[in-house]
Structure 1
Amino acid sequence: MIRYSPAPPLDVAIDCIWLSQRREHFASLEHMLPSGKAQLVIPLHDSVIQWAAPESKALWHGWTRGVIHGPQSRYYLAGPKPPGVVVGASFRVGMAAEILGVPLDELRDRHVSIEELWGYRGLELHERLAAIREPMAVCRALEAELIARIRRPLLIHPAIAYALHASSVSARVDEIQQRTGYSPRHFIDLFHSTVGLTPKHFYRVQRFSNALTRLARGDARLADVASATGYADQAHFSREFRELAGVAPSAYCPPAANSEHHHVVGSGKKASRLVRRPA
């Protein structure tokens, strides 16, 4: 596993670039939990990657070569993972549009192939990365591609930058909106377009992510986690967790302490039978 923060100017828009090499088939299903961020994922193989929406667990979809996972409002299901190398980038909140070229509210809860987003250039990127054998060279090639796609100036709207900072200090949405000087409707529309989620839902996801970090590193007392991350009480925490993660906090099972936005749920044999291969 390789994970690093890119150099300027890309560090403004990209939280990290990563590469993972899986030597064996991973048969379990996972709930992929919301983080508020968009993700670019490019497998350097041609095997089908599977996913399903929470409300349609019997209908599995497949994609190959690369995908953009837009900001998610709740979990989605990921199918079994084949062996091979996968490279990707995690965008900073509110900055993905400056590289992807589309407003993030158009990507909310969507999984868009790089071919659909970038046409033949997306497929060419996959082929070029797959031809590189040295892992760090793959990461650097992806980094160069993303730098070339930056729409300058690489800036976030000041009101949204303030709102994202204020969210870390537990301010109320209406208070943040008033301090920006914008009307409620204008502020919500601007935030939604930039971040991909409404302010209220984004702050819920951020609080949830903070709780995931504590649970994944071993904080066992749910009441303490709920209190430390801003929930009214443990019952409130449990309700929110079930809605966003699809399981109770006591059943949460990350594969590793640094994989807090993954929840392993079981065998992927059923998903393998039901997946629809891409056209």
Structure 2
Amino acid sequence: MSGGRAVTMARLAGDRWRVTRPWPAALRPYLHSYAGYWEDTATPYRVRIVPTGRAVLLISLGEPFAQVHRLAENGPEIRVVGSLVAGLEDGPRIADHPGGQEAIRLELTPLGAYRLFALPMREVANTVVELADILGPHSRELVERMSCTRDWGERFDLLDAALLARLGAGPEPAPEVDQAWRMLARSGGTVPVARIAQETGWSHGYLVRKFTEQVGLTPKMSARVLRFHRTMGLMASGSADLGALTAHCGFYDQAHLNREFRALAAVTPGQVVAARMAEGAVAL
């Protein structure tokens, strides 16, 4: 442990374990989740990764994903060897893993990712890239040091220090973009973009340009993703009344909800209700 922050392990489905520790206070504004995972037995699996409005950083300490393939793409699968970064998505991916996963996975707010990655977020939107391509070759040394210890507290210590150093030196998001994102996130994607532009004092065009640069998706697409993700979360918590969800989450009607689920995740609401969901993924 570090500074009284004890590591906790919890068994998930099957032989998979989740490892957590309270996050450093300085990281909390930028994170949605931060946890380690490992398996007792190597079990291959496939998941459909759906849009969440979050960026992902995955530190691979064991077997990497075999492939990560965006369904809308007709080209070859993206093979990612080792640790990876994924920007915000507006469509689904299929991820195959051979089993034997041991990793630390972070979900970042878009503006937390903008500070951490120190590049325009539109460059990593709808794509998955090697960690070293974003954080530089020194990140390989960090991953190697984390792999060489079996102590999860020490692993978190190493990653905490690297994240805090990157965030401290990263670019500051524009206050207007931060305000725009907060308005969208708090409303679940239901606030009109015209109202956001009015409240930030920016023109519609300038808001779209700056927002897309620092978040990765346009305000309109971000609103769609957030509305979808909110609906997914309510379904996962047991709210399966699609009629009530349609109005509550800001869809025009149930047909609109169905279209958005097909467009953003290539699934139906019924398939989501029947599937096991965890951390932006639907088990296949």
Normalized against structure 2, the TM-score is what?
A: 0.85
Query: Which is bigger in relative contact order (C-alpha 8 A, separation at least 6)?
Result: 1
| Aligned counterpart, 2:233 | 213
| Aligned counterpart, 1:120 | 137
C-alpha distance in structure 2 between counterparts of 1:140 and 1:254, whole Å: 35
Residue deviations 1:29-78 (CA, integer Å, cap 9, x gap):
21101111111001102544321111247832321220001111111111
Q: Compare 247-256 and 202-211 and name the one that shifted more.
A: 247-256
Residue deviations 1:56-104 (CA, integer Å, cap 9, x gap):
4783232122000111111111113421311122112322121112111
Q: Compare 208-217 and 166-175 and name the one that shifted more.
A: 166-175
The answer to whether 1:85 aligns with 2:102 is yes
| Aligned counterpart, 1:272 | none
SS in 1 for 2:145: helix
Residue deviations 1:240-260 (CA, integer Å, cap 9, x gap):
01111111111125435xx15
How many Å apart are 1:135 and its aligned residue?
1.8
What is the RMSD computed on CA atoms of the aligned residues?
2.0
Residue deviations 1:169-215 (CA, integer Å, cap 9, x gap):
33211111122111111110111011111000001111111101111
Structural mapping, 1:52-63, within 5 Å: 52-56=69-73, 59-63=76-80
| Aligned counterpart, 1:197 | 217
- Out of 237, 240, 244, the residue aligned to residue 264 of structure 2 is 244
C-alpha distance in structure 2 between counterparts of 1:127 and 1:195, whole Å: 30
Normalized against structure 1, the TM-score is what?
A: 0.87
Instruction: Specify the code of the residue in structure 2 equivalent to 1:200.
Output: K
Alignment coverage as a number of residue pairs: 263
What 5-or-longer segments of structure 2 have no aligned partner? 1-17
Q: Compare 99-108 and 143-152 and name the one that shifted more.
A: 143-152
Cα contact 1:25–1:82 (8 A) shared by 2: yes
C-alpha distance in structure 2 between counterparts of 1:102 and 1:58, whole Å: 26
Q: Percent identity?
A: 24
What 5-or-longer segments of structure 1 have no aligned partner? 266-279
Structural mapping, 1:69-108, within 5 Å: 69-108=86-125
C-alpha distance in structure 2 between counterparts of 1:155 and 1:74, whole Å: 28
C-alpha distance in structure 1 between counterparts of 2:279 and 2:255, whole Å: 21
